[in-house]
Amino acid sequence: MLDIINRKNQINNRKTIAVAIAVILFCLSSSISFAISTLSYTSLSKEDFTSLYLSENYTAVVVEIPRLLHQPEAWDKKFNNADNHGTPIPIIAERYGGIVYLNDPEYAHSKILVPQENYKKLVRKFETLGFIVRNNTYLTFHLDYSKLSVGFPCFQGYNLLSGKNARIAIIDSGIDDSHPDFPGTYPTAIDKIIYWNDTTYQNYGSPVEVNGHGTFTASIAAGTGAASNGTYRGVASDAKLMIFKVSTGRIEKEDVAEAIKDAVDNGADVISISLGWVPEAGWCDGTTTQTDAKALYDAINYARSHDIPVVISAGNSGPEKESIDFPACVNLDNVIAVGSTIKKDYGTRWEEYQDPKDAYVSYYVTIKNEGRLITSGTFGGSRTDWSGFKQIIQPYTWPTTIEVKLEGQNRKRDCYSSEIVSWDPGNSSQGDSYWNWTKKFSTGPYIIVELFVKPDVNEWMCLDLNGGWHNYYLNDDSHIYVNVYRTGSLSTEGLVNYDSARGPLGNVNNDCVINQTDLDLCSQHYGENWPQCDLNNDGIVDANDINIVAVNFGEVCKPFVVAPGVDICAARADGTNVGYLTCGNDKYVSATGTSASAPFVAGLIAIIKELNPNASLSTIKQALMQTDEKLLGFHPDYLEGYGRVSATKSLKSIDSSVVCSSPSSPPSSGGGGGGSPGPCGSACVE
């Protein structure tokens, strides 16, 4: 389910896409009519717009007034009279070198491209005029980057692993088989598409596309990338596709059920589904009396009886809790629900410390950008639980440097002294310990700092040299987690996409299943303020929380894993409007959602089947569970399951000789063993 708002048809006369800079600046200053429905800008070519939009020298901002939502007349009045002098928004933007490239009166906003050197001035100007100004996402998370972020490409000797001989069933809106990324015209040629079935009442005998969604998802799983010279190649680019059209503009559960059974009967190795409904009682566990929902549940169970994994997008209903859509919520073990992540430009950093003389409970942090203070303060207090924060930074300038400094408060030093060490945060004279991290970035628009600590401090009583008893603190095995990365998407859950659906609550010990251990833990902390079991966030563990665990007893990870799903570039069906033309090539569109994440994982499964054609459902799931570290280290399972998929770890679990890298040429045989740095040298992704 792509998280897309496409207003092109709804507000056709209310927004315009901008063009050649010199021309538009001239038009803005001399000949534009700012009437409510006749905004008229000379249109930029797709290529010129994309080049400007993705330029590191420009930032895209949104200038908006939310209280004028769905009041186009009021917005147009403000658009044409942005200040007390009656100056239109485009003219004000022009004074700072900015270009209004989209105006949307129905949704009360304009979008402006502004040069980096004038970014702060333009933002301040519009804020003083009463507008809310925020950065628009302008960095496209291309499919080529998304694959690199989880370890691709991977090789077995000279063989590039690409899903050869595997069959991926895509159950969606159809496909545009004229797109260059799907060679051969079905059914006369089956280079890529080897099977087609329209299970709807339309019953087309050959491939058609309803809205572009199916073409997009099929491309992520197994597109060849031919129209982009391989840049937007799918995860399993040599896998075969079985296409099932289940949409006529509306989707019936029975049509999806029939498609699943037909895919199984015709030899699919993996089934990918990027659609869903808000579940009703009994849908997820098969106890429903609604016949259409029951038919779909039973079809998934039919795939289970044939050991076929069904990869399903978790949905885009986050950050609401327990928001997994149907059929991703189905509790059968062949359902692999997939959430989505944003990109990750800087790896996580773990620090572990163990010093019997220094035990830290409270912490003081300082964050600076180019030497300027962003924030500082204390946090912590618990001897055993995680604590910390996230800071979103809009840097002063680009390129930019972020500095993070953490100071730990020393408690009593040892058992032979009654000295109590005072704490003076920011003053090193007291002997407190420090950790420092520095990272440079060339572009933004935002930098996110995540900093969390988990002390493991035990408290003992001991007798000091003066014959007095006092507390003694021992630091057994404490951890510091820091992650600093850039993003164009402001997620409140870090690298897990903000909209990605959340699974069932109650798995307290993060073992991906809600069982008696969780129930016992919450019962032990009854009446306490224990966040792990305070599932309804009312400040105390009570009967309501215990009941949540009991109701969800037996539930497993939802989502099972997470995978790239933000600003993904993939194939565009001719004549359709799904996504945004920001990939630099009108054969592709960029879109966001768990719809993109599910075929990504299906492609990875196809490569697992290439390595081991006899891999069972259990083997496949075990391979997928070999993920990256959880994206925030301590994320609960309902947010990211086992974590973000790792091609490197998953494929190596099938065949240890696999090498995953970013080589300039295919690796030599031997897999890089024997103590050498390997065929890809320092570029290897482990």
Using the predicted structure, report yes or no on whether residue 65 has a pLDDT greater than 80.
Answer: yes
In this predicted model, what pLDDT tens digit does every residue of 113-150 receive, in sequence order?
A: 888 899 999 999 999 999 998 775 332 222 344 565 66
Domain locations in the chain as residue ranges: 21-135, 143-342+560-614, 349-487, 516-551
Using the predicted structure, report yes or no on whether residue 212 has a pLDDT greater than 80.
Answer: yes
Q: Is 228 helix (H, G, I), strand (E, B) or coil?
A: helix
- The pLDDT assigned to 528 comes to 86
Distances in whole angstroms, Cα of residue 2 to Cα of each of 189, 513, 578, 618: 30, 28, 9, 29
- The pLDDT assigned to 355 comes to 44
Residue 343 in tokens: 């990109």
Cβ neighbour number for residue 386 with a 10 Å cutoff: 17
Structure confidence at residue 576 as a pLDDT band (50, 70, 90) = confident
More confident residue, 263 or 28: 263
Lowest mean pLDDT among 378-387, 471-480, 569-578: 471-480
Segment 636-648 shows an average pLDDT of 81
Q: Which amino acid is at 242?
A: M
Segment 143-161 shows an average pLDDT of 67
Which residues touch 5 (CB under 8 Å, ≥6 apart)?
Answer: none
Using the predicted structure, report yes or no on whether residue 494 has a pLDDT greater than 50.
Answer: no
Segment 4-33 shows an average pLDDT of 30
- The pLDDT assigned to 387 comes to 66
| 200 in Cβ contact with 244 (< 8 Å) | no
In this predicted model, what pLDDT tens digit does every residue of 525-575 receive, in sequence order?
A: 898 887 778 887 777 889 988 888 888 887 777 899 988 887 788 999 998
- The pLDDT assigned to 134 comes to 75
Lowest mean pLDDT among 361-365, 619-623, 656-660: 361-365
Structure confidence at residue 447 as a pLDDT band (50, 70, 90) = confident
Structure confidence at residue 236 as a pLDDT band (50, 70, 90) = very high
- The pLDDT assigned to 383 comes to 59
Q: CA-CA distance, 587 to 537, in Å (whole number)?
A: 47
Share of the chain above pLDDT 70, in %: 69
pTM above threshold 0.85: no
- The pLDDT assigned to 101 comes to 73
- The pLDDT assigned to 353 comes to 45
Fold exhibited by the domain 21-135: Ribosomal Protein S8; Chain: A, domain 1 (3.30.1370)
Lowest mean pLDDT among 369-383, 421-435, 572-586, 598-612: 421-435
Structure confidence at residue 293 as a pLDDT band (50, 70, 90) = confident
In this predicted model, what pLDDT tens digit does every residue of 101-113 receive, in sequence order?
A: 767 787 687 878 8
Q: Is the torsion defined by CA of 43, 48, 52, 53 positive or negative?
A: positive
The mean pLDDT of the chain is 75
- The pLDDT assigned to 572 comes to 93
More confident residue, 667 or 58: 58
Structure confidence at residue 482 as a pLDDT band (50, 70, 90) = confident
In this predicted model, what pLDDT tens digit does every residue of 164-181 receive, in sequence order?
A: 999 999 999 999 999 999
| 684 in Cβ contact with 678 (< 8 Å) | yes
Here the contacts of 68-73 (C-beta below 8 Å, separation 24 or greater) are: 68/108, 69/107, 69/108, 70/106, 70/107, 70/108, 71/108, 72/14, 72/36, 72/105, 72/106, 73/36, 73/105
- The pLDDT assigned to 343 comes to 52
Reading across the β-sheet that carries 446-454, which strands appear in turn?
Answer: 349-353, 478-487, 446-454, 387-393
Closest CA relative to residue 103, chosen from 34, 19, 14 = 14
Cβ neighbour number for residue 50 with a 10 Å cutoff: 19
Cβ-in-10-Å burial (0-12, 13-18, 19+) of 246 comes to buried
Q: Is 111 helix (H, G, I), strand (E, B) or coil?
A: strand
- The pLDDT assigned to 394 comes to 81
Closest CA relative to residue 13, chosen from 124, 135, 105 = 105
More confident residue, 433 or 252: 252
Fold exhibited by the domain 143-342+560-614: Rossmann fold (3.40.50)
More confident residue, 664 or 429: 429
More confident residue, 309 or 155: 309
Lowest mean pLDDT among 114-118, 153-157, 378-382: 378-382
Structure confidence at residue 646 as a pLDDT band (50, 70, 90) = confident
